[in-house]
Structure 1
Amino acid sequence: MNKTVLAGRRAVTPIQFAILTLCAGVAHAQSTDPAVPAGSGAPAGLSAPTAQANDSGKIAEVVVTATKRSTSLQKTPIAITALNAQTLEDNHVQTLLDVVNLVPGFQATGQGDHGVTTMTLRGIGNDSAKTEYADPEVATFVDGIYSPRPEGATALLFDLDAIEVLRGPQGTLWGRNSTVGAVNMQTAKPVLGSKSGSVEAGLGDYRRYGARGAFNIPLGETAALRIAAVHEQHDGYVDYQAYTAPSLESQRAAWAASGGAASAFQPINPNQFVRTGPKYSAQDQTAARISFLWEPSSALRWNIAYERFSDRGTPSMNLMQNPRPGQDFWSALIDTAPTLKRDSDSVRSRLEYQLNPDMQLTYIAGWSKFDGSSTFDQDAGADLPTSFSTGGNHQENNTVYSHYTNYSHEVELQSLGSRTVDWQLGLYYGAEDNGIRFDIPIFNGTQQGTVNWQGSFIQPKETVKSAAAFGQATWNLSSSLHLTGGARYTHDKRTNEGGNGYTWNGDPNVPQVPLSPNIDPTRPGQGYTPNNPSNTGEYNGHKWTGLLRLNYDIDRYNMVYASVATGYKSGGLQDGGKPYGDETLTNYEVGSKSTFLGGKLLVNNAIFYEKFRGFQFSAPVTNPDGTRGLATNNADGAKIYGLESEITAKITPDDRIMLALTYTPHAKLGKLIGGSNDYTLPVCSVPGISTCLDVTGHTMPHTPKFSAHVQYQHVFRLGEGSTLAPRISAHYETKSTLSVFDLGEEDRQKAYGRADLGLRYTRDKWWIDLFVRNVSDEKIKTSAFNPGPHAIWLAQYQPPRTVGFNTGVDF
């Protein structure tokens, strides 16, 4: 495709405001003791992210691992949001979808047919990064170990010390696919000599119940064990609609009008429509983790953990944006019962050895295995059949199997203590083996009808091998001025062995029945023909990424920084074995971090300008020969700039407020002609694409111009160790598009506000927490599409209003 970049007009007033905000940290340095002392510079593994309370009325110190060392949040020159365990609990965070409103510029969407989560940060993401083909631009890590597949982002979050969201490219230290940012989840680790634990349980509407617990068990003086488990379950939000069939006379007339023979007529079977059983958008997830710590000496420390995750919920349902008259919004006419089966096993290990007082060696290893399957009603009952083979459109999206294994090794060598030059070096190797079979049967009318199109995409073996070497050093030019430089070299190799698509060939000798796991489309005589060429192929690519940053401590309470950093996501293979290229991001950023009022007010700001190149646009398409597949092309990219601000204030010892603001006046696509079967688009003049639209200059999806999130909590002290703490969390954002196509109001989420309420009573070590989420029951779209012959608009939505309570005890 031709590549051009369109520059947008700068919004002068907001940028001037941003500069003034940044300068606030310079102009108002305080003379009292800071709330957050300088970081110790200890390696990250020696101190998990924490927020330690104090008795001075100051905001508790937050320690983060963004630089792969334990440093104070206020002394870390990176745009980072750190959410500690209490914040995660107060906001009932269970998956990364629940983190969205707590982080500036962060968006996430659920994908129903695959049951995965895709993420957008600072306007850049990839809604199609939901199969074995596509990697996300926002990388997820657990205890510093990369989680390669999007399914990992949906795992049930539990027993965490913190979640750190790093905004901007993290290609030097964090590496793989952290093009626009990284999310690092820090699990709670065993503690030596501590016999402690907690248990809790809760109930709510939609027959919600949940339970979780964690126990720390000392094993002598040098070892400890931590066991944690969780189960969360609720019924689906989407009710089943009853189907009322047209009269037999009208069915016969519709069938005859389509050219069908009278002798072949069949009445519509209403039993094909689901009325009972598990509903769509239900949760049924269980996870457990056992962690072991061995610390035989002050120089040697080993953490290893095994985690098991199981999901037996149901996919999130597509809903009609404008329901049929008489039908409830949270309902659908379903002819494919929902199923979802996902199991994952993970092992994570971190071994640290202090070679001498000035140097430490760390070995980080991870292994995980995933298996999954699902059935999903893609047509959502939007088109009503007029006969058994006319009017309607039956489509299932069925993952027959999806499995992957991956492992990674990372060796780090870094300096310790206070030095003129702080440095770290590392080597990384990661490998994946992916496989999937994904079936799409599409029938005219109902499952009884005739084949419209159906096919199976089978990728038995797709591999990824990634190797990297990296280094970063900070030259402490003085006690106040610090210059950091870093570089990473990455080599990626991807292969597809034997993958192909198999399309229904219309063989009159084969019955027209929906494709199912009982049918092997690779066998001759089953009615399917393999696509030509196959997907077999190999891709090799490499890239240098780097970082250059200057930060200056104005005094003990105010710091400013400026940086330029690059991120990179590997190219790969698409259907037909055709390669696509890598994508890169260069981010220019200026920021400040300030502490005011003796540690009772923190103000952190960042202004960023991103130049995105080689945007990997992926979408399901129909080829001119009638075959279908997932096509990936490198578009020109985008230019994005904006402002982020996070403010935390402890107004009184009992009043705390947190405010997160994002302003993104410009987030424009460069040259891109995109096609997708998920949308009704014009016939395409570009060879090789059936339908398409020129979206050059469109706003990047999921990027509102302005968003704000505020949390406020007050603590009433009732005496005798009892407290009552009401809280409110409110979110507002302006309208945003939901796809690159921006096909009108149906393809946008209008400006909205939502609020969550909570009330927590604590007495000694026992507590009870009542909550209402989405108080006003807002209908908030996270994705939209209008496929099918009648282009009826569907959408995925955030959950409706929910209420419930949790209660627990710490011991």
Structure 2
Amino acid sequence: MPASRLRTSTLAIAINAAFVAAALAQQAPSVAQLDAVQVTADRRSEDAKDVPVSATVLRPEYLDALSTSASDVRVLAGKAPSLNVESSNGRVFPRFYIRGYGNTDFTTYASQPVSLVYDDIVYENAFIKGFPMFDLASVEVLRGPQGTQFGRNTPGGVVKFNSARPVLGASEGYASVSYGTHATSSVEGAINLPISSDWAARLSLLQQHRDDWVTSQASGQELEGYDDAALRLQLLFKPSDDFEGLFNAHARKLNGTARLFRANIFRPGSNQLVDGFDEDKAYIDGHNAQELTTYGGSANLTFSSGDITFHSITGYEGISDYYSRGDIDGGYGAGAFVDPTQPYGPGFIPFSVETAGGIKSLDQFTQELRAQSNYDGPLNWQGGLYYFYDDVQGESYDYDTIGGGALSGYDLTRQKTNSWAAFASLDYQATEQLDLRAGIRYTHDRKTFDILQWDRDSAPPVGGKTSGSKVTGDVSATFALTDAVNLYARAARGYRGASFGPPSPGVPVTVASPETVDSYELGIKADLWDRRGRLAFDIYSMDIKDQQLTAVGGTSNAVQLINAKKSQAYGAELDFELLVSENLRFGLNGSYNDTEIKDAGLATSTCSPWVCTVTDPLDEQGRAYIDGNRLPQAAKWIGNLNARYGIPMGDGAELFFYTDWSYRSEVNFFLYRSKEFVGQPLFEGGLKIGYSWEAGKYEASVFCRNCTDQIRATGAIDFDNLTGFINDPRIIGAQFRASF
């Protein structure tokens, strides 16, 4: 269907939905109602219906069900419209995509257009974006550019984690323990302690474990296990209604195996896994290990002076230790191009490659100063300043697997970023029905990249500097069709500063120019049947200018950053909840995202023609033209269904059934198209059956995640063999949870 027809059709659907929703909203009242959903897209808590942004909020019960299998943040993929999350680094370095807009870059300094904000602090480097989810009040997915109010690099949207806060005067907490397949365990808990009438503390802990469950048939190594621990301590100081200080300290320690790459798992000429594929077996002969230590803290101060509230948010994030080593070729032996007389496999292995990446140090500092009005009149405003600084030293290692794993190459590089911004926004209640909002932001970025050490055969490359400024902003209007139904329109511009691509032997430092996105959105939000139902539906379009893309070559796993002149995306998103009865709750959400690269002359290197089947036209150098291709990891269809049914058992007890199922359609793994490197559709489900008593104070349950044990490749290595990596296996287990 042409884009113009789709836009017209979806607009017609939206208009019809508005009138249908308005009619449904007038139904007779009922006793049971859905609880209110709050979002903080404009840096203050508001009813989701009143905020002119496409947003989804995942709440504690849902997050608890997802976490039973000791999952990491990748479990959020497909749990909200237009959201995908994947990683080629396992439990660290998650890559977020919203509306198909993200970045597949896997290097130390990778920049992403989707920002992760954890307790009001921007987590910029991808290695700290994997901080675990535990003791959360909610997760907000804010789609489209959010650059007016939030940190930096947010043209794609924001995933926002909100921790449960300390409560004054309350002694309470909870503990949750789960255990399942492969000795997968998760121990989570929190305790809230009143210190005085003005002070309260909340300590939250998490410990996750999985045994090694994959065995290398080549080396005998046991793989895919991990121990992941995290803690968070919060102190709340509130001596009066006019002042509040919230202080946060947190840390994480991970030990386990790196992402397991598996050689030649794709059937040539097809994206199907090879016949007889066994996820419990691998064939690597290189060393595999991963360790990470992160820590940080923040101070969030709020002072009210009559009609104006002042905010100061100071944050620090650091990494003291990161090292991840893996067998990149995914197989064993020296390979056909090195010594064809010796055994190698499985399948065709041209040569052996074993590398590691590390971070010698990472320091990130952020400071936000913001003021907001609290007038009783129709006009209110916000304004402030934001400063961002980080200093990252990244390490890259090469090893000689056949030579006993000896170090054969090393480099140490450094990137420093300085960024500051000034921002302001207005909210004007023009009439009883019409609310108007507008925001503007000026951002200035400066980066430097230096080679600190270069222990390789090739000459050391040259570093670089880059700087740039941009004015971005948004305008929106919300019209109350009835008390229960709102229509909104929003236009926004987002910006991402220039990025460096780290060098490798034979590949210099590359620089991608800044990118800009213009987004347009129309939507409807409605409370239905006296708040027994809730509906949000929107259509959008995006134009991305000079999009930064990551190109990797077939005979080298090196990264080169490039810019596409233009990319386009458009689609529609739906969120729906229904309280069928007091005991049955149903949720449905989904999205359609159509993305396309628009650059007639842009071509990239591909895998070797004797390895994979490239379907794009080629230039004289054998590079593939990528004009017209979908963006990598951009699924056209994403959907999620969830339901909970409870059977009261008397005296505050309940037998309950909970299930959720997520679907995403096929995705391209790389910029170019080939028959093999297209991820198959993925359909995963979870089930939880439990019994709670004493009004929910205690709960015992059994569960499964990926209940059907569907195994799919979720990514690949663009190398001279058909190497890929897969999703998590089925986990069946039991959970006990107690509140006190």
- Of residues 139, 144, 149, the one that matches 1:168 is 144
Q: Does 1:116 align with 2:82?
A: no
User: Relative to structure 2, which stretch is displaced further, 315-324 or 136-145?
Assistant: 315-324
How far the C-alpha of 1:26 sits from its partner, in A, is 5.7
C-alpha distance in 1, partners of 2:552/2:487?
A: 45
Structure 2 counterpart of 1:638: 567
Alignment partner, residue 408 of structure 1: 366
User: How far apart in 2 are the matches of 1:780 and 1:176?
Assistant: 34
Q: Which residue of 2 aligns with 1:351?
A: 301
**Other-structure match for 1:249:** none
Distance 1:678 1:440, change over 3 A: farther
Judge conservation of contact 1:177–1:568 (CA < 8 Å) in 2: yes
Contact 2:255 2:290 survives alignment (8 Å): yes
Match of 2:186 in 1: 210
- Structure 2 residue runs of 5 or longer lacking an equivalent are 268-272
Counterpart of 2:475 in structure 1 is 548
Deviation (angstroms), 1:419: 2.5
Change in 2 beyond 3 A, CA 1:669/1:310: farther
1:537 lines up with 2:464 in the alignment: yes
Over 3 Å counting, the alpha-carbon distance change for 1:63 and 1:427 in structure 2 is same
TM-score, length-scaled by structure 1: 0.82
One-letter amino acid of the structure 2 residue matched with residue 564 of structure 1: A
On the 8 A contact 2:551/2:562 being kept in 1, the answer is no
Q: Determine the structure 1 residue equivalent to 2:310.
A: 361
2:627 alignment counterpart: 696
Matched residue SS, 2:148: coil
Partners of 2:32 and 2:647 in 1: how far apart?
A: 15
Q: Which amino acid aligns with 1:714?
A: Y
In structure 1, what is the Cα distance between the partners aligned to 2:489 and 2:275? 56
C-alpha separation between the residues in 1 aligned to 2:408 and 2:617? 22
After superposition, where does 1:495-574 map in structure 2 within 5 Å? 495-499=448-452, 502=454, 521=455, 528-531=457-460, 533-534=461-462, 536-574=463-501
Tell me how large the CA RMSD over aligned residues is.
Answer: 2.8
Indicate yes or no: 2:41 matched with 1:66: yes
Deviations 1:764-808 (A, max 9, x none): 1111121111111112322124512xx3x2222211111112102
Partner of 2:540: 608
* Structure 2 residue 709 is the aligned partner of structure 1 residue 780: no
The amino acid across from 1:648 in the alignment is E
- Partner SS, residue 53 of structure 2: coil
2:248 and 2:735 map into 1 onto residues whose CA distance is 27
Q: Report the equivalent of 1:331.
A: 281
Q: Spell out the pairing of 1:136-535 with structure 2 (5 A cutoff).
A: 136-241=112-217, 243=218, 273=219, 275-276=220-221, 278-280=222-224, 282-319=225-262, 320-322=265-267, 328-356=278-306, 358-370=307-319, 371-381=321-331, 385=335, 386-388=340-342, 392=349, 393-441=351-399, 446-447=402-403, 455-459=409-413, 461-499=414-452, 502=454, 521=455, 528-531=457-460, 533-534=461-462
1:581-621 CA-to-partner distances (Å, cap 9, x unmatched) read 10111110000101111110101011001111111112345
Larger Rg, first or second structure (1 or 2): 1
Amino acid at match of 1:491: H
Deviation at 1:498, TM superposition (A): 2.9
SS at match of 2:530: helix
Q: Which amino acid aligns with 2:94?
A: T
Deviation at 1:90, TM superposition (A): 2.1
- What amino acid does structure 1 have at the position aligned with 2:322? G
Q: Structure 1 pair 383/739, CA: closer, same or farther in 2 (3 Å)?
A: farther
Q: Is the 1:543–1:568 Cα contact (8 Å) retained in structure 2?
A: yes
Aligned to 1:510: none
Q: Distance in 1 between matches of 2:556 and 2:328?
A: 19
The structure 2 residue matched to 1:585, chosen from 498, 513, 517, is 517
Paired residue type of 1:204? G
Aligned match of 1:758: 688
SS in 2 for 1:125: coil
Task: State the 1:21 CA deviation.
Answer: 5.3
Whole-Å separation in 1 of the counterparts to 2:313 and 2:277: 54
CA deviations over 1:216-248 (Å, ceiling 9, x no partner): 00011111011111100012343221x4xxxxx
Counterpart residue identity of residue 644, structure 1: E
1:84-95 aligned within 5 A: 84-92=59-67, 94-95=71-72
Please list the CA deviations of residues 258-291 of structure 1 after superposition, one character each: whole Å capped at 9, or x if unmatched: xxxxxxxxxxxxxxx2x14x413x2310001111
Whether contact under 8 Å (1:491, 1:542) holds in the other structure is: yes
d(CA) in 2 for partners of 1:153 and 1:172? 21
Contact residue 21 and residue 528 of structure 2 kept, 8 A? no
Task: Please state whether the residue corresponding to 1:74 is helix, strand or coil.
Answer: helix
* Number of residue equivalences: 710
Q: How far off is 1:657 after superposition?
A: 0.4
Distance 2:607 2:376 in 1: 56
How far is the alpha carbon of 1:313 from its aligned partner? 1.9
Aligned partner of 1:649 among 578, 586, 608: 578
Q: What SS class does the counterpart of residue 462 from structure 1 fall into? A: strand
Helix, strand or coil at the partner of 1:334: coil
- State the alpha-carbon separation in 2 of the partners of residues 31 and 768 from structure 1: 40
Deviation at 1:399, TM superposition (A): 1.7
Question: Which deviates the most, 544-553 or 695-704?
Answer: 695-704
Q: Which amino acid in 2 is paired with 1:354?
A: S
TM-fit CA distance, 1:677: 7.0
Aligned to 1:797: 726
Q: Is the 8 A contact 2:665 2:681 kept in 1?
A: yes
Output the CA distance in 2 between the equivalents of 1:149 and 1:339.
21
AA in 2 matched with 1:409: Q
Identity %: 22
Residue 210 of structure 1: how far off its partner (Å):
2.0
Do the aligned residues in 2 keep the contact of 1:667 with 1:703 (CA within 8 Å)? no
- In 1, are the aligned partners of 2:553 and 2:718 still within 8 Å (CA)? no
- SS for the counterpart of 2:182 is coil
Q: How many Å apart are 1:124 and its aligned residue?
A: 0.8
- How far, CA to CA, are the matches of 1:754 and 1:803 in structure 2? 14
Q: 1:400 to 1:30 in 2, by over 3 A?
A: closer
Aligned with residue 15 of structure 1, among 10, 14, 18:
10
Distance 1:528 1:590 in 2: 56
Deviation at 1:29, TM superposition (A): 5.8
Deviation for aligned residue 1:420: 1.5
Tell me the CA shift for residue 107 of structure 1.
0.7
- Does the aligned pair in 2 maintain the 1:703–1:736 contact within 8 Å? yes
Q: Measure, in 2, the Cα distance between the counterparts of 1:637 and 1:380.
A: 35
Aligned counterparts of 2:334 and 2:557: Cα–Cα separation in 1: 25
Shift of 1:114: 9.1
Work out whether residues 415 and 448 of structure 2, in 8 Å CA contact, stay in contact via their aligned partners in 1. Answer: yes
